Protein backbone atom coordinates (compact mmCIF):
# COMPACT_ATOMS: atom_id res chain seq x y z
CA UNK A 1 0.00 0.00 0.00
CA UNK A 2 1.22 3.54 -0.80
CA UNK A 3 0.57 6.18 1.85
CA UNK A 4 -1.11 9.34 0.54
CA UNK A 5 -0.27 12.28 2.79
CA UNK A 6 -0.25 14.96 0.12
CA UNK A 7 3.34 14.50 -1.06
CA UNK A 8 4.98 12.09 -3.45
CA UNK A 9 4.79 10.52 -6.88
CA UNK A 10 1.97 8.23 -5.83
CA UNK A 11 0.92 6.94 -9.23
CA UNK A 12 4.51 6.48 -10.40
CA UNK A 13 5.28 4.44 -7.30
CA UNK A 14 2.09 2.43 -7.74
CA UNK A 15 2.90 1.64 -11.39
CA UNK A 16 6.48 0.68 -10.57
CA UNK A 17 5.35 -1.74 -7.87
CA UNK A 18 2.66 -3.22 -10.10
CA UNK A 19 5.30 -3.72 -12.78
CA UNK A 20 7.14 -6.14 -10.48
CA UNK A 21 3.99 -8.02 -9.49
CA UNK A 22 2.69 -6.24 -6.41
CA UNK A 23 -0.99 -5.62 -5.75
CA UNK A 24 -1.02 -1.92 -4.82
CA UNK A 25 -3.54 0.54 -3.40
CA UNK A 26 -3.12 4.19 -2.45
CA UNK A 27 -4.60 5.24 0.89
CA UNK A 28 -4.69 7.99 3.48
CA UNK A 29 -6.69 5.83 5.88
CA UNK A 30 -4.69 5.23 9.06
CA UNK A 31 -6.20 1.83 9.85
CA UNK A 32 -5.55 0.49 6.35
CA UNK A 33 -2.01 1.85 6.29
CA UNK A 34 -1.25 0.37 9.70
CA UNK A 35 -2.54 -3.12 8.89
CA UNK A 36 -1.48 -3.71 5.26
CA UNK A 37 1.20 -6.22 4.32
CA UNK A 38 3.71 -3.53 3.35
CA UNK A 39 3.62 0.27 3.32
CA UNK A 40 5.46 2.65 0.99
CA UNK A 41 6.03 6.23 2.17
CA UNK A 42 7.10 8.41 -0.78
CA UNK A 43 7.98 12.07 -0.45
CA UNK A 44 8.68 15.06 -2.69
CA UNK A 45 9.26 18.71 -1.77
CA UNK A 46 10.13 20.52 1.43
CA UNK A 47 10.90 18.58 4.60
CA UNK A 48 8.58 20.71 6.76
CA UNK A 49 5.68 20.35 4.34
CA UNK A 50 6.10 16.58 4.19
CA UNK A 51 6.17 16.36 7.98
CA UNK A 52 3.02 18.49 8.22
CA UNK A 53 1.23 16.27 5.72
CA UNK A 54 2.39 13.12 7.46
CA UNK A 55 1.23 14.40 10.85
CA UNK A 56 -2.18 15.24 9.38
CA UNK A 57 -2.79 11.57 8.52
CA UNK A 58 -1.23 10.27 11.78
CA UNK A 59 1.80 9.02 9.87
CA UNK A 60 4.08 8.91 12.90
CA UNK A 61 1.69 6.61 14.77
CA UNK A 62 1.17 4.46 11.68
CA UNK A 63 4.89 3.92 11.16
CA UNK A 64 5.59 3.37 14.87
CA UNK A 65 2.81 0.77 15.10
CA UNK A 66 3.96 -1.02 11.97
CA UNK A 67 7.57 -1.25 13.09
CA UNK A 68 6.58 -2.36 16.59
CA UNK A 69 4.82 -5.29 14.92
CA UNK A 70 7.63 -5.99 12.44
CA UNK A 71 5.51 -4.82 9.50
CA UNK A 72 7.58 -3.53 6.54
CA UNK A 73 7.89 0.15 5.62
CA UNK A 74 9.73 1.54 2.57
CA UNK A 75 10.55 5.26 2.46
CA UNK A 76 11.47 6.99 -0.82
CA UNK A 77 13.33 10.33 -1.25
CA UNK A 78 11.90 12.71 1.39
CA UNK A 79 10.25 9.55 2.70
CA UNK A 80 13.78 8.54 3.74
CA UNK A 81 14.66 11.97 5.11
CA UNK A 82 11.68 12.27 7.46
CA UNK A 83 12.71 9.03 9.18
CA UNK A 84 15.70 10.85 10.70
CA UNK A 85 15.70 13.08 13.78
CA UNK A 86 15.34 16.42 12.01
CA UNK A 87 15.69 18.41 8.82
CA UNK A 88 17.14 21.91 8.42
CA UNK A 89 15.94 24.02 5.50
CA UNK A 90 16.54 27.79 5.10
CA UNK A 91 17.63 28.02 8.72
CA UNK A 92 14.51 26.34 10.06
CA UNK A 93 14.83 23.06 11.96
CA UNK A 94 11.88 20.66 11.72
CA UNK A 95 11.60 17.56 13.89
CA UNK A 96 11.42 14.28 12.00
CA UNK A 97 10.14 10.88 13.02
CA UNK A 98 13.34 9.97 14.86
CA UNK A 99 13.54 6.37 13.70
CA UNK A 100 17.23 6.99 13.06
CA UNK A 101 19.57 9.61 14.56
CA UNK A 102 20.83 12.22 12.11
CA UNK A 103 20.00 15.56 10.52
CA UNK A 104 18.98 16.23 6.93
CA UNK A 105 20.83 19.29 5.60
CA UNK A 106 21.55 21.09 2.36
CA UNK A 107 24.26 19.49 0.24
CA UNK A 108 27.34 21.64 -0.44
CA UNK A 109 27.55 20.80 -4.14
CA UNK A 110 28.05 23.78 -6.51
CA UNK A 111 24.99 22.78 -8.57
CA UNK A 112 21.71 21.83 -6.91
CA UNK A 113 19.48 19.96 -7.04
CA UNK A 114 21.42 16.76 -7.48
CA UNK A 115 19.39 15.60 -10.45
CA UNK A 116 20.15 12.58 -12.57
CA UNK A 117 21.84 9.21 -12.43
CA UNK A 118 24.51 8.19 -9.96
CA UNK A 119 26.18 5.05 -8.62
CA UNK A 120 25.94 3.73 -5.07
CA UNK A 121 28.62 2.63 -2.62
CA UNK A 122 26.63 -0.39 -1.45
CA UNK A 123 26.88 -1.25 2.23
CA UNK A 124 28.22 -4.61 3.33
CA UNK A 125 25.42 -7.12 3.86
CA UNK A 126 22.90 -5.35 1.65
CA UNK A 127 20.10 -7.44 0.19
CA UNK A 128 18.31 -4.47 -1.40
CA UNK A 129 21.05 -4.04 -4.03
CA UNK A 130 21.53 -7.72 -4.84
CA UNK A 131 22.18 -7.99 -8.57
CA UNK A 132 22.40 -4.22 -9.15
CA UNK A 133 25.42 -3.27 -7.06
CA UNK A 134 27.10 -1.46 -9.98
CA UNK A 135 24.03 0.12 -11.53
CA UNK A 136 23.04 3.80 -11.58
CA UNK A 137 19.94 5.17 -9.89
CA UNK A 138 17.94 8.35 -10.37
CA UNK A 139 18.15 11.17 -7.80
CA UNK A 140 16.34 14.51 -7.47
CA UNK A 141 17.19 16.31 -4.22
CA UNK A 142 19.12 19.18 -2.67
CA UNK A 143 19.22 17.84 0.89
CA UNK A 144 20.52 14.68 2.47
CA UNK A 145 22.12 13.04 5.50
CA UNK A 146 25.85 13.67 5.11
CA UNK A 147 26.96 12.52 8.55
CA UNK A 148 25.55 9.45 10.19
CA UNK A 149 27.07 7.01 12.64
CA UNK A 150 24.62 4.56 14.13
CA UNK A 151 25.32 4.37 17.88
CA UNK A 152 26.37 0.98 19.19
CA UNK A 153 26.34 0.43 22.95
CA UNK A 154 27.72 -3.11 22.84
CA UNK A 155 24.59 -4.50 24.49
CA UNK A 156 22.13 -4.57 21.60
CA UNK A 157 21.27 -7.93 20.06
CA UNK A 158 19.85 -6.22 16.99
CA UNK A 159 21.86 -6.08 13.80
CA UNK A 160 23.01 -2.54 12.98
CA UNK A 161 21.41 -1.02 9.88
CA UNK A 162 23.10 -1.44 6.50
CA UNK A 163 23.86 2.02 5.09
CA UNK A 164 24.68 2.60 1.43
CA UNK A 165 26.15 5.92 0.28
CA UNK A 166 26.37 8.15 -2.78
CA UNK A 167 28.78 10.99 -3.61
CA UNK A 168 27.81 14.35 -5.11
CA UNK A 169 30.53 16.63 -3.73
CA UNK A 170 29.23 15.61 -0.30
CA UNK A 171 28.90 11.95 0.55
CA UNK A 172 25.33 11.29 1.68
CA UNK A 173 23.13 8.38 2.72
CA UNK A 174 21.58 6.79 -0.38
CA UNK A 175 19.75 3.90 1.31
CA UNK A 176 19.30 2.20 4.67
CA UNK A 177 18.18 -1.33 5.42
CA UNK A 178 17.12 -1.78 9.03
CA UNK A 179 14.97 -4.87 9.51
CA UNK A 180 11.39 -3.99 8.52
CA UNK A 181 12.36 -0.35 7.87
CA UNK A 182 14.02 0.32 4.51
CA UNK A 183 14.47 3.62 2.69
CA UNK A 184 16.14 5.08 -0.39
CA UNK A 185 17.15 8.65 -1.18
CA UNK A 186 16.95 7.86 -4.90
CA UNK A 187 13.73 7.11 -6.75
CA UNK A 188 13.46 3.41 -7.63
CA UNK A 189 10.23 4.18 -9.52
CA UNK A 190 12.22 6.46 -11.87
CA UNK A 191 15.32 4.25 -12.12
CA UNK A 192 14.27 1.93 -14.93
CA UNK A 193 15.24 -1.72 -14.75
CA UNK A 194 17.70 -1.12 -11.90
CA UNK A 195 14.92 0.45 -9.84
CA UNK A 196 12.63 -2.46 -10.65
CA UNK A 197 15.26 -4.83 -9.25
CA UNK A 198 15.37 -2.77 -6.05
CA UNK A 199 11.61 -3.07 -5.64
CA UNK A 200 11.70 -6.79 -6.47
CA UNK A 201 14.42 -7.33 -3.87
CA UNK A 202 12.40 -5.44 -1.29
CA UNK A 203 9.24 -7.42 -2.08
CA UNK A 204 11.21 -10.66 -1.81
CA UNK A 205 11.98 -9.85 1.82
CA UNK A 206 8.26 -9.75 2.57
CA UNK A 207 7.62 -13.35 1.62
Q: How many separate helices (H) and strands (E) can be counted in the chain?
A: 6, 13
Q: Where are the strands (E) in 22-161, listed by range?
A: 26-27, 39-41, 73-76, 84-89, 92-95, 100-106, 114-119, 136-141, 143-144
C-alpha span between 206 and 201 (Å, rounded): 9
Q: Is 114 a catalytic residue?
A: no
| Candidate list 36, 77, 135, 166, residue with the active-site label | 77
| Candidate list 105, 135, 177, 189, residue with the active-site label | 189
| Candidate list 36, 105, 177, 187, residue with the active-site label | 187
Q: Is 141 a catalytic residue?
A: no
Residue 142's Cβ-count burial label (10 Å; 0-12, 13-18, 19+) is middle
Q: Is 60 a catalytic residue?
A: no
Catalytic residue numbers read: 77, 187, 189
Amino acid sequence: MVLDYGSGNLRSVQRALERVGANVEITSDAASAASCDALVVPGVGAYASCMAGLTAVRGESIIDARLAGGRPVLGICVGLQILFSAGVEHGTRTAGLGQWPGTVERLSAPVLPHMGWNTIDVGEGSTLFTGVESERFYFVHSYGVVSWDFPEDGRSVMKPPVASWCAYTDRFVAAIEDGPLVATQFHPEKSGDAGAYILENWLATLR
